């Protein structure tokens, strides 16, 4: 079965960086893109960006441009999200989520069909 297993909770100081991993199994890694979504405490869901595991193209939300990098390791079927210059308002649970799509043309409908368990990143001095 499809599994997305994320790395453990992190506590970081303001200005530091964090790198969260998402190890996948149960499917062909390069057939599905991956997005990262975060959720601040008591708040809603926020899409951060997307990486194609096939050609490594990325698309980052403007809000995170310059601070976020998403990468993959096809030898371990793992996706990574690094966020730099952390601030207190980056405190959130970070989720990796697999994107699937219909075969519709010209534009396939896309949605998130599997999610990691979430990684709590706390930014505090």
Task: List interacting residues with another protein (CB under 8 A).
Answer: 35, 44-47, 50, 59, 61-63, 95, 97, 102, 107, 109-113, 115-118
Nearer to another protein, 55 or 107 (CB): 107
- Beta strands, E only, the chain: 3-6, 10-12, 18-25, 33-39, 46-51, 58-60, 68-73, 78-83, 92-101, 110-115, 119-123
SS3 assignment, position 90: helix
Whether 99 and 82 have beta carbons less than 8 Å apart is answered as no
Nearer to another protein, 14 or 108 (CB): 108
Q: What is the nearest approach in angstroms of another protein to the Cβ of residue 88? A: 22
Q: What is the nearest approach in angstroms of another protein to the Cβ of residue 75? A: 26
Q: What is the nearest approach in angstroms of another protein to the Cβ of residue 13? A: 26
- Measured CA to CA, the distance from residue 34 to residue 100 in angstroms comes to 9
Q: What is the nearest approach in angstroms of another protein to the Cβ of residue 30? A: 20
Nearer to another protein, 35 or 53 (CB): 35
> Cis omega (within 30 of 0) on the bond before 5?
no
């Amino acid at each position: 079965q499809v599994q997305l297993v994320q790395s453990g909770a992190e506590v970081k100081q303001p200005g530091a960086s964090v790198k969260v991993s998402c190890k996948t199994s149960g499917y062909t890694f390069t057939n599905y893109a991956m997005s990262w979504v975060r959720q601040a405490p008591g708040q809603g869901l926020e899409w951060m960006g997307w990486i194609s595991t096939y050609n490594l193209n990325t698309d980052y939300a403007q809000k995170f441009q310059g601070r976020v990098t998403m990468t993959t390791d096809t030898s371990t079927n793992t996706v990574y999200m690094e966020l730099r210059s952390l601030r207190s308002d980056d405190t959130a649970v970070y989720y990796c989520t697999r994107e699937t799509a219909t075969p519709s043309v010209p534009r396939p409908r896309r949605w998130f069909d599997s999610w990691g368990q979430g990684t709590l990143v706390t930014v505090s001095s």
